[in-house]
Amino acid sequence: MGADHPIVLEPRCPVEEDPRVKEFLRLAKVLTDATWVELELRPTGSAPARKYRVGAGTGKAATTPLEAGVDFDASLRLGHAAKPTRKHVKLLSDSLSCALELRKVHAQMALLRRVLETASHLVLIFDNDGHIIFANPAGDDLLSLQTEDELPAGFNGQPRQPLFSLLTSLVERVVSGDGAESPWRGVIELGDGRMMACEARQVTNLVPDLPDAVLVILRPTEPESDIRVRAFAASHDLSPREQEVLHLLGLGLTTAAMADELGISPHTIRDHLKHLYRKTGTKGRSELLRLISRATPVSADV
């Protein structure tokens, strides 16, 4: 879906007490010197029409069609008033269109904010100067770790630096296009051992007066060693317990340490190792670890 299409696809009438519609009706009443004003909105989709009114009274009324944008047909009834001039009709049409468009934009923004708040990914939006202008709750939680205790981070074997400084440098790379891909993608390793898949991309604003921004999305991922173990386990039909033993084996734990970690006996650990050697066609730990190191690190999360 293109950025120029509405997120709220089907047009719906505002609620009866919508403040923007009420303001429009008061404007129409003052502008036309009517004793009462009634607006009827008819959405272009399947949603029902709705009428809005200010002022009391019945009787003679001038009915005038209004231009209300592509989503609605509209007509205005003016109690005890002369038919409005063409200039007034144009002014009222523009005012109504603006009120309805503003309501749609606010609805879209509320929907987007709700989606971002419930997303498990960490979403940060920076301006082109590297200042954060939005963070969803997951992103805000990560940044709070940075303020409470400087959280170092790095990627591609480069020296670690505070997480916020690293993200700011990525924003600068994306904005300047200094030999970097756009969007930039990579894996960031945090000082607490977590791995985060990161994507930073420039977002061009469609409104000429407003600046562009950089969207940064972070999501937890596994270290490549864990991904290799999982791929290797899937290809050899290993049981969940055998996968746990395989993971601890990759960490270099002894038989006794693995037993203590899993809460089972060393004898049971040896049985699991024998099963692993048999299933993988290996003769010992070293050969098994070499085989794992050659596994293709395919992750369902990437």
Q: How confident is the model at residue 41 (pLDDT cuts 50, 70, 90)?
A: very high
Contact 40, 51 (CB under 8 A): yes
Query: Which residues constitute the domain of residue 76?
Result: 19-116
Residue 2 inside a domain? The answer is no
Residue 14 confidence (pLDDT) above 80: yes
Among 221, 256, 285, identify where a domain stops.
221
Q: How confident is the model at residue 301 (pLDDT cuts 50, 70, 90)?
A: very low
Domain count, the chain: 3
The pLDDT assigned to 9 comes to 62
Residue 172 inside a domain? The answer is yes
Among 84, 101, 116, identify where a domain stops.
116
CA distance 162 to 241: 38
Residue 6 confidence (pLDDT) above 70: no
Q: For residue 132, with 0-12 CB atoms within 10 Å meaning exposed, 13-18 middle and 19 or more buried, which class applies?
A: middle
Could you tell me which residues are beta bridge partners of residue 162?
A: 152
Residue 8 confidence (pLDDT) above 80: no
Question: Three-state SS for 93?
Answer: helix
Residue 251 inside a domain? The answer is yes
CA proximity to 284, closest of 295, 273, 294: 273
Does residue 192 sit in the same domain as residue 243?
Answer: no
Does residue 53 sit in the same domain as residue 110?
Answer: yes
Q: Tell me the backbone φ, ψ of residue 216, rounded to 5 degrees.
A: -120, 125
Query: pLDDT tens-digit profile of 238-285?
Result: 898 998 898 888 777 888 888 998 999 999 999 999 999 999 999 888
The two three-digit tokens of residue 45, written as one number: 């989709």
Query: pLDDT tens-digit profile of 283-293?
Result: 888 888 888 77
CA distance 262 to 249: 12
Q: Please provide the average confidence, as pLDDT, over all residues in the chain.
A: 84
CATH assignment at residue 214: 3.30.450.20
Does residue 233 sit in the same domain as residue 216?
Answer: no
Query: pLDDT tens-digit profile of 47-95?
Result: 899 999 999 888 788 899 999 988 999 999 999 888 889 999 999 999 9
Does residue 184 sit in the same domain as residue 141?
Answer: yes
Does residue 79 sit in the same domain as residue 161?
Answer: no
